[in-house]
Amino acid sequence: MTETTTQTKRSVPLWAQITIWGFLAGLLALVGFGLKRSSSPMAEIGKPVPDFKLVYYEGYEYNNTAEMNLSDLRGKVVLINIWASWCKPCEQEAPDLEEAWQLYKDSNDVVFVGVDYVDTPEGAFGYLKKFTITFPNAPDLQSNISSILNRQMGVPETYLIDREGVLRQIKIGPFVSISEIQAFIANAE
Amino acid sequence: MKKFLLILTLTLVASGLFTAVAFAQDTTPTDDEVNAIAKQLYCPVCENTPLDVCPTEACRQWRELIRQQLAEGKTEQEIKDYFVANYGARVLSEPPRTGFNWLVYIIPPVLILVGAVVLFNAFRAWTKPKSAEAGAGMEKGAGASSSDDEYIKRLEEELKNRK
């Protein structure tokens, strides 16, 4: 009678319980560590933009510098335009962006930086030539920059960073005119 | 004789050129060859869609890039390495067996194994108490309660009456 009761109430051995819980705890710790390592700070409007590296396309450098950090542009208003050669709406705003750049490039106060999102070299250079883009451009093949900028929807998206490195405004979708770009940049003041 | 040699030389040169053209045409990778590699890659623009069936312009550009690299004589592994180096390991349909990625390969079989053991134990636990109870019932036989006896008596009486 007593044996039967003991048999019925028999549970998982202690060593097995410790092993299972230990395995689960280890697994959670690994996943947590991996998530912490992969997560990067993100930009928010009204807060300084976390720094990131720009490695410019050949022929599209800024001040003949092949690579720089965003923080190197502190003291200037920075307009970052995320685009891709496979993006049709980007083509809509490309001529206006270039024309607007021509208005600001000599002021040395406003910098346009194109960030080419997940593109092929042929596609990228074909696009830059097609729209005779001259402002600095850098690839973002692994989405590192667009992740830090906290890309909202897709491409194109444009970010306005003021002289103190604070994110002022985000434009989702293409600009429709030069005056819209000018009004956007005026928000940095 | 000179004329004959000249014609012969021209013929050989022309045939050589045509052969080269034909050879060049043959080395253009087919869609099947391109897709054999493309299906092992995922476009990060349209997530969870293999590159070989993705209809977007971005994926078309990538397939052309594969075709171009195949035409250059690159191997399948070299092309995949190029995409990983440029766009990250996320483009691969199967994560590389390194670092944390090993968890993807280890955890599912381990969980299946643990699940199988748990199920096995659960099934065994469901069947054991019944047999144990049966055993206990037999043990109880001698010392069964009076209410059980009455019931058995009544049952036996009714069975006799029916006869």
State pLDDT tens for residues B110-128: 889 989 998 998 888 888 7
- Both A145 and A59 in one domain: the answer is yes
Rounded-to-integer distance, Cα A152 and Cα B44, Å: 15
AA letter at B51 = L
If we measure between CA atoms, which residue out of A18, A88, A185 comes closest to residue B56? Answer: A88
Q: Is residue A47 part of a domain?
A: no
If we measure between CA atoms, which residue out of A31, A26, A158 comes closest to residue A83? Answer: A158
The two structure tokens encoding residue A180: 């819209």
Mean pLDDT of A136-165: 91
pLDDT of residue B100: 77
> Residue A160, SS3?
strand
Give whichever of A5-19, A150-164, A169-183 has the largest mean pLDDT.
A169-183
Q: Is residue A169 part of a domain?
A: yes
| B19-96: CATH topology | Helicase, Ruva Protein; domain 3 (1.10.8)
Higher pLDDT, B26 or B68: B68
pLDDT of residue A39: 65
- Both A32 and A69 in one domain: the answer is no
Could B61 and A8 be called an inter-chain contact, meaning their C-beta atoms sit closer than 8 Å?
Answer: no
In the structure, what pLDDT confidence band is assigned to residue B10 with cuts at 50, 70 and 90?
A: low
In the structure, what pLDDT confidence band is assigned to residue A189 with cuts at 50, 70 and 90?
A: confident
Are the C-beta atoms of A73 and A164 separated by less than 8 Å? Answer: no
Higher pLDDT, A189 or A78: A78
Q: Which residues of B touch A1 (CB under 8 A)?
A: 136, 139
- Both A157 and A74 in one domain: the answer is yes
Average pLDDT of chain B, as a whole number:
80
In the structure, what pLDDT confidence band is assigned to residue A5 with cuts at 50, 70 and 90?
A: very low
Q: Is residue A179 part of a domain?
A: yes
Q: Is residue A11 part of a domain?
A: yes
> Residue A97, SS3?
helix
The two structure tokens encoding residue A38: 């992969």
Mean pLDDT of A148-154: 81
pLDDT of B141 over the 90 cut:
no
Could A4 and B132 be called an inter-chain contact, meaning their C-beta atoms sit closer than 8 Å?
Answer: yes
Mean pLDDT of B12-26: 53
- Both A60 and A16 in one domain: the answer is no
Domain tally, chain A: 2
pLDDT of A6 over the 90 cut:
no
Q: Is residue A71 part of a domain?
A: yes
- Both A95 and A58 in one domain: the answer is yes
Are the C-beta atoms of A71 and A51 separated by less than 8 Å? Answer: yes
pLDDT of A84 over the 90 cut:
yes
The two structure tokens encoding residue A21: 């819980």
CATH code for position A71: 3.40.30.10
- Both A67 and A143 in one domain: the answer is yes
Tell me which of B84, B100, B113 to substitute to probe the interface with A (most A C-beta atoms closer than 10 Å): B100
The two structure tokens encoding residue A100: 């607007």
Could B132 and A143 be called an inter-chain contact, meaning their C-beta atoms sit closer than 8 Å?
Answer: no
pLDDT of residue B2: 64
- Both A163 and A74 in one domain: the answer is yes
pLDDT of A1 over the 50 cut:
no
Higher pLDDT, A134 or B162: A134
Q: Which residues 51-110 in chain A show a CB within 8 A of chain B?
A: 84-86, 88
**Domain coordinates in residue numbering, chain B:** 19-96, 102-162
pLDDT of residue B98: 81
* Cα–Cα distances in angstroms (integers) from residue A46 to residues A107, A112, A157, A159, in the given order: 25, 20, 17, 12
Q: What is the CA radius of gyration of chain B?
A: 39
Q: Domain containing A132: what range?
A: 53-186
pLDDT of residue B135: 56
Q: Is residue A46 part of a domain?
A: no
> Residue A112, SS3?
strand
Q: What is the pTM of this model?
A: 0.70
Residue with tokens 């607007």: A100
pLDDT of residue A2: 47
A144 min Cα distance to partner chain B (Å): 10
In the structure, what pLDDT confidence band is assigned to residue B45 with cuts at 50, 70 and 90?
A: confident
pLDDT of A74 over the 80 cut:
yes
Q: Which residues 3-22 in chain B show a CB within 8 A of chain A?
A: none
Percentage of residues in chain B with pLDDT exceeding 70? Answer: 71
